[in-house]
Chains A and B, each alone.
Chain A
């Protein structure tokens, strides 16, 4: 149930984000979710795509530094307290969130959150126990 995210090193230089996105566009890679983490000098672009391994290889071929990371995508009820319910499950079990970001599914208007956990497998088991929907690789392609 884990998903694979691609992380890409970007210098804080004009046009670098554009370079990545246009390369992916030309190669018909659809970005499902995206976030940028930044420091003064550099940034890390994190993306969720349908074919992560092939896309990472494509990026590396074009000189980008990219790595694959396990993440967990979770469906969140789009209502007040939706996120809190999920975080509660994690916090009582001592699971650390390294970082997270969200996007909205276009078909059902459901919010989807992407988590980077220190223990993703354990997190998935716990979330499922609480009937929280964890999104698999197939579904991400269909979204």
Chain B
């Protein structure tokens, strides 16, 4: 079924009219309510009333992650904090986290787009859904929750972790839908086999997997192992959280709900839109959000887009799976990690920055693992094992408290980390995505 047939299957001309109206409205709204945007618009020499249609969007200035960070915590919001209904936080690049807020209407919107997403994946009202995304400041768990509530699913708010209990819930309650990260779905299969369960006999028939990049090969593996349909969901907290785009059962791209999130694909270097079908950076404008509406937000995710109508009947454009990033961000077990964050922690511990490297790996049927290699120099070195172990532990704890991600620390000899032109390559991603 299609949750919002009117908006999702709308004639493209009508859709464009709605987008144009909404853009005019949101441009005016942020100009009036947010001093940062007013300044940005003025600097770009554009007044909101000069926006006549959605095609004028390219006259508007971009918004980048640094804008959120520089205006921490509420500087980019267009409402007073007291008028928000909910606040979510993700870790920031060098200290300040990224804060997003939702008004009551925004939460309604979040529920709406997530309901569309679940329907898109094949859910129908009264299905049982096991939500194994983390609940809390991370947007995954609660976003899925609001969507499931909106469309009348029966929610099992399992949150992440406690795999044995997840499997018992699946085995005893027989939910038809599973929502979690794709690597967690793989991991649970291993655990299930160890417990003597047969993953192919599981009750899960539809998976809504996201919050981290994954490949077609991994999809096949999940589908074969669990005997389920594995669909991809896309989102980012800055835009709303999960629910920006979702694959339908045909699995030919992720339907982006463009009546509320307007997509552009640009060349990250020039900022100009690329030809349809070409890869580029996804830029999104939130057309109806009220708490923290963002104009032309640079997601740094690289995708391509196609506008042809899908076999499922939806006219919403489809983006490809994320094929990379324009920055050095890596996603580990659903958590965004920038090398600069690790750098910040190491600098804080040592006073000077040791040479370091991040190794990301995903062994078969395991969760992502992040290893931090630190070169031991004269200053760090101690004659005693316990001192060096304490140094490792300190790095682990600091990273965990700042980023909320568990890492392994490996002390290595000087010059172990390859350098090119004197600069070390900070990230080695060994995952087959």
Contacts and interface: CB of A to CB of B under 8 A. Distances in A.
Given A44-B385, A69-B383, A98-B384, A63 B414 contact: yes
Given A39-B388, A41-B411, A42-B411, A67 B416 contact: no
B376 A39 contact: no
Interface residues of B, number: 17
A63 B377 contact: no
Nearest to B412: A11
B414 A46 contact: no
Given A39-B389, A42-B388, A65 B383 contact: no
Interface string A51-78: 0000000001001111101000000000
Contact of A11 (B383, B385, B416): B416
Among A9, A16, A38, A41, the one with the most B-chain Cβ atoms within 10 Å of its Cβ is: A9
Contact of B413 (A9, A46, A69): A9
B-side interface mostly:
loop
Interface of A: 5, 7, 9-11, 13, 16, 37-39, 41-42, 44, 46, 60, 63-67, 69, 98-99, 116
A-side interface mostly:
strand
Contacts of B378: 60, 65, 67
B410 interface: yes
B381 interface: yes
B415 interface: yes
Interface of B: 376-378, 381-385, 388-389, 410-416
Contacts of B414: 63-65
B375 to A, nearest CB: 9
A38 B411 CA distance: 12
Contact of A46 (B377, B383, B411, B412): B383
Contact of B381 (A13, A63, A67): A67
A67 B414 CA distance: 14
B385 A39 contact: yes
